[in-house]
Amino acid sequence: MKSLIIKITIFIISFLLLDFFFGSFFFHNEKKKLVYEDNDNFLFGFKKNLDLDNYNYGNLNYRLCTNDIGGRDACGNNIINNKNFDYVFIGDSFTEGLGINFNDTFFGLLKNKFKNKDFLNLAVSGYSSSIYYNKLRFFYENGYNFSEIFIFLDTSDIFDEIYRYKNDLNNKTSFNFSNEQINDLLDDNKRLIKNIYYKFPTTFFLLNFIFDLIPRFEFIDKYYLNLMINHNFGKWSYGKSDLFNSENIKKSLSKNRYYVEKIINIAKINNSKITFVIYPWPGHLYSKNIDNIYNKYWSDFFRNRNEQLLNLNISFFELLKTKKYEETILKYYIPGDVHFNKNGHKLIFQQLDNFISLNQKGD
- Report, as an integer, the average pLDDT of 35-52: 95
Exposed / middle / buried, residue 98 (Cβ in 10 Å: 0-12, 13-18, 19+): buried
Task: Read off the pLDDT band of 49 (50, 70, 90).
Answer: very high
Distance CA 218, CA 204 (A): 22
**Phi and psi at residue 75, to the nearest 5°:** -65, 135
Sign of the four-CA dihedral 306, 359, 339, 202: negative
What is the C-alpha radius of gyration for the chain, rounded to an integer number of angstroms? 21
Specify the fold of 2-362.
Answer: Rossmann fold (3.40.50)
What is the pLDDT, as a whole number, of residue 302? 95
Between strands 84-90 and 145-152, the pairing is: parallel
Residue 296 pLDDT exceeds 90: yes
167-177 confidence digits (pLDDT tens): 887 778 999 99
107-116, 192-201, 248-257, 340-349: least confidently modelled range: 192-201
What is the pLDDT, as a whole number, of residue 7? 57
Q: Is residue 175 within 8 Å of residue 39, measured between CB atoms?
A: no
Any residues with CB less than 8 A from the CB of 340 and at least 6 apart, and which? Answer: 94, 100, 332, 333, 334, 348
248-258 confidence digits (pLDDT tens): 999 999 999 99
What is the pLDDT, as a whole number, of residue 291? 92
- Report, as an integer, the average pLDDT of 15-40: 70
Residue 23 pLDDT exceeds 90: no
Strand intervals (E) in 8-144: 36-39, 43-46, 51-57, 60-65, 84-90, 119-121
